[in-house]
Amino acid sequence: MIEFKQDGLYSKRFDDVYFNTQNPLLECFHTYSSVVDALEGSNITIAEAGFGAGLNFFSTVSSLNGKNLHYIAIEKYPFNKDELRQIYQRFECFSRYFDEFIKQYEVLQNALIRINLGKDIILDIYFGDILEGLKELNFKADAWYLDGFTPAKNPQMWSEELFGAIKYFCKNGAIIRTFSSASIVRLRLLDAGFSVKKLKGFGKKREMLEAICVKEYQKPQNWYSLPAIDKFTNVLVIGGGVAGLVSATKFKKAGFNVVVAEKMNEVATNGSSNLAGILMPLITLPTTVLGLMHMSAFLMARNFYKDSEFSDFCGVDDYGVSELQLKRFEEWGQNGIFELTKNSSLYPSAFIKSAAQLMPKSLCSDLAKSLDVKFGYEFAGLKKSGDGYLVEFKNQKRVSADLVIFAMGDKSNYLFNEVFYDEYMQLSSVRGQVTHIKNGIDLKRPFSAKGYACKSVNGVQVIGATYDRNDFTSCARSKDNEKNIADISEFLIGKNVDIIGSNVGFRGYSGDRSPLIGAVHDALKFKEIYKSLLWTKNRENHAGAVHHQNILISSAHGSRGLCTAVFGAEILLDMVLGRQICTTKSILDSLNPARFLVRKLKKGLVK
């Protein structure tokens, strides 16, 4: 709950104000954002310890002078959306970007959210303790803002441990600015290896500190270290479903030459082929990595689709049809993402306010219009050719590329069985059949219960879906239509259902329900490295993973691919650009394609 004291934004927890009410933007510029002019290059990365109300961020945005900004902040006690709106209205000193910022802003504890403000400004906010947050992040900053209330009132933000950790997140020559001139801050910066000097403070404040990183420190690598990507220009995406087309779109917008290879004669013929689908997160317990991953992916995906003519952001009702599901809703509590209602006529429900109904097939076709898509290209193999790859397709077709992204859905098993030789990979194909009915239920928004139902699209409602692992029957079955009808029977009482069609698709699933997103590992070299580490005490920190150079994957998205495909595309783009990944290390590790092999290696179960 926000408080004001003598017209200043006040923190009761720390008995201190967030910023000076007299010319707060001038104070922010003097203390922090004036550093922008001293930073070289057109792309700059700035980190902040304590995001607060975002004033330092908005001040920095107004000081860019044509530079591209990646701003990374860590905030343990965040304001919610309504509080930020009140602060903005009271002080009216933020930025023209505030409205777009607040649309994308959500608090997700112990996770990172990304906000894109145009093509030139990325804001990543980690919500949680700063020392825990730094364990989850991986970046090198050009500058740091240390702004966490005064050292006497918030000693944790100025601890020796924190300064020792921050040095690993600084480029050589990085500038650290802080309003504080306390001797303990100066001494701890010196002890951490920074050079320190005093600068003139703002207004009545006599002094402030500036530190310089005089040496670049490297964090130890572990099993899931990030890949080293060679410079590239030409990208080949294999697969013309949602995962492939969204990845291709993001890479093209980033300035790369992109070709999409699709084995069929049109896009979206498999798991992405439905007339209608639902964009919503999988709600699990909020303490699980899987739950945080799905919520993070949902927040990113809704922003990607927001301008599409094939999206309807009408919200979705997610019904708690079991005690476990209700517990999950309750654990999340009332939050900015969904509202829990227990007095529903059928089941308790979570109304996911910014969820949407999408048209996957139409959406894919629309994305493909702006891409170079080669049809009838069925992947057969690849081999090194100079600095890149020669990718071979059936019928003697070939494409050269510097970087290859596999988005082959349920056919990804072929990759690890026949091309990359990881026998411990856990992938399967799951057959799903949806049923088309003629205006069976008059819906204001789609819902998910035992089954799901979408709103009518041109007189057709999509309901579904069946789930049959390793069933490769491509034709529709009447018994599956009957099951889909039975799963939503509570919502059909008194209705005469008219089945007018079906659609069958095959989705890739992993053994732990998380997608495969990241660099493709070299399983044979992984095993060689492990042999020398098996009995050492320092097995977690070593030379890092070994990857096939410039080969990435976004696959096994299952039934939530509309969410996680966008997430996967952004992660891959972050990897190749060498910037902070759009999520935490814990989530990224849970998506790593090598994870099944690593689990076996750590248990000594690999031959």
Predicted local confidence at residue 88, as pLDDT? 84
Q: Is residue 285 part of a domain?
A: no
Same domain, 410 and 530: yes
Write out the two tokens for 407: 């988005």
Same domain, 244 and 160: no
| pLDDT tens, residue by residue, 357-411 | 999 999 999 999 999 999 999 999 999 999 999 999 998 999 999 999 999 999 9
DSSP states of 189-204: HHHTTEEEEEEE-STT
Predicted local confidence at residue 186, as pLDDT? 95
Predicted local confidence at residue 24, as pLDDT? 75
Same domain, 120 and 247: no
Same domain, 195 and 259: no
Same domain, 24 and 80: yes
How far is the C-alpha of 389 from the C-alpha of 382, rounded, in Å? 7
Q: Is residue 56 part of a domain?
A: yes
Same domain, 163 and 243: no
Distances (CA, A) of 345 to 341, 342, 484, 490, 513: 10, 9, 21, 11, 31
| pLDDT tens, residue by residue, 17-30 | 666 666 777 888 88
Predicted local confidence at residue 223, as pLDDT? 76
Write out the two tokens for 167: 């040095």
pLDDT of 219 over the 60 cut? yes
Q: Tell me, what CATH number does 406's domain have? A: 3.50.50.60
How far is the C-alpha of 25 from the C-alpha of 43, rounded, in Å? 23
Same domain, 203 and 239: no
Q: Is residue 218 part of a domain?
A: no
The pLDDT of 246-273, averaged and rounded, is 96
Same domain, 137 and 23: yes
Q: Say how far residue 21 (Cα) sits from the centre of its chain.
A: 36
Total tally of structural domains belonging to the chain: 2
| pLDDT tens, residue by residue, 503-562 | 999 999 999 999 999 999 999 988 887 766 555 555 555 556 789 999 999 999 999 999
| pLDDT tens, residue by residue, 410-455 | 999 999 999 999 999 999 999 999 999 997 888 999 999 999 999 9
Report residue 496's pLDDT band, with 50, 70 and 90 as the boundaries: confident
Same domain, 141 and 204: yes
Same domain, 123 and 239: no
Q: Is residue 155 part of a domain?
A: yes
Cβ proximity of 398 and 392 under 8 Å: yes
Distances (CA, A) of 34 to 51, 62, 193, 322, 587: 17, 10, 24, 55, 35
Coil/strand/helix, residue 258? strand
Coil/strand/helix, residue 250? helix
Q: Say how far residue 432 (Cα) sits from the centre of its chain.
A: 26
Q: Which of 88-102, 270-284, 285-299, 320-334 has the lowest mean pLDDT?
A: 88-102
Domain region containing 60:
2-213
Predicted local confidence at residue 202, as pLDDT? 87
Same domain, 189 and 138: yes
- What's the pTM value of the predicted model, to 2 decimals? 0.95
Same domain, 419 and 560: yes
CB-based contacts of 455, cutoff 8 Å, min separation 6: 276, 312, 314, 357, 443, 444, 445, 446, 461
Partnered with residue 209 across adjacent β-strands are: 178, 198
